[in-house]
C-alpha cells in the first residue's frame, strides 16, 4: 500500500490518516478471515481423516468450528469414539500416535478398557455389531487432528497470501 502526502498540509495529512485507519481495519478483517478459512479447511480435513476409521459400531464423531476469540477459532471433534479414532485402540493396532507419551494415550489408556492389552483380541458385543459376533484387535489411529495440524502449517503461507492479496 502506498500513501502519498502532498502537499504537507492538514487536509493531506488527514486524508493519509484516514487511509491508514481504513487499512488497519482491513487488516483486522483479513486476519479474522484467514483464521476462519484455516479452521474451515482444518475441519474438512479432520472430518475426512475420521471418516477413515475402521470401526465396528457407531463411529459417532462430529466435527465443528467455533469462534473462541478475536481472530481465534477452534476445531472441535466430539463423540464417544473421538479418542479411539485419533489415538487408536488395542495392543495390535493402537500404538503409533506421535503424541501418546505427551497425552498419556495409547493401548490400555481408554477408560473402561478390559481387553486392550490382549494380543488375542476380543469379541465385540452383539449390540455393537448388528447381531453378528465380531472379533476385534483394535483400531489403528487415524491421527486426523494431528495430521491436520501438520497440513495447516504447510498451507498457512499460501492461504495468507490468498486472503491478504484480495
- Report whether 160 contacts 66 (CB < 8 A): no
First to last CA, the chain: 13
| pLDDT per residue as tens digits for the range 30-62 | 999 999 999 999 999 999 999 988 876 677 899
Give the C-alpha distances (Å, rounded to integers) separating 125 from 7, 129, 132, 156. 83, 7, 9, 44
Buried b / exposed e over 99-113, threshold 16 CB at 10 Å, is ebeeeebbbeebeee
pLDDT for 134: 82
Average pLDDT score over residue span 125-152: 87
More reliable by pLDDT, 77 or 7: 77
CA 61, CA 59: separation in Å to the nearest integer? 6
3-state secondary structure of 1: coil
- Report whether 78 contacts 62 (CB < 8 A): yes
pLDDT for 7: 77
| pLDDT per residue as tens digits for the range 66-118 | 999 999 999 999 998 898 899 988 888 888 899 999 998 888 887 777 778 88
Residues 6+ positions from 39 with CB-CB distance below 8 Å: 65, 73, 74, 75
Amino acid at each position: 500500500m502506498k500513501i502519498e502526502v502532498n502537499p504537507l498540509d492538514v487536509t493531506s495529512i488527514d486524508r493519509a490518516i484516514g487511509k491508514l485507519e481504513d487499512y488497519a481495519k482491513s487488516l483486522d478483517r483479513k486476519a479474522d478471515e484467514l483464521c476462519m478459512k484455516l479452521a474451515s479447511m482444518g475441519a474438512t480435513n479432520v472430518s475426512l481423516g475420521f471418516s477413515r476409521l475402521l470401526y465396528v459400531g457407531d463411529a459417532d464423531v462430529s466435527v465443528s468450528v467455533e469462534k473462541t476469540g478475536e481472530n481465534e477459532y477452534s476445531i472441535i471433534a466430539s463423540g464417544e469414539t473421538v479418542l479411539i479414532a485419533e489415538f487408536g485402540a488395542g495392543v495390535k493396532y493402537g500404538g503409533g500416535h506421535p503424541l501418546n507419551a505427551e497425552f498419556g494415550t495409547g493401548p490400555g489408556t481408554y477408560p473402561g478398557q478390559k481387553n486392550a492389552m490382549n494380543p488375542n483380541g476380543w469379541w465385540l458385543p452383539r449390540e455393537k455389531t448388528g447381531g453378528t459376533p465380531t472379533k476385534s484387535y483394535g483400531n489403528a489411529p487415524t491421527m486426523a487432528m494431528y495430521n491436520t495440524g501438520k497440513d495447516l502449517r504447510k498451507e498457512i503461507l499460501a492461504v495468507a497470501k490468498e486472503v491478504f492479496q484480495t
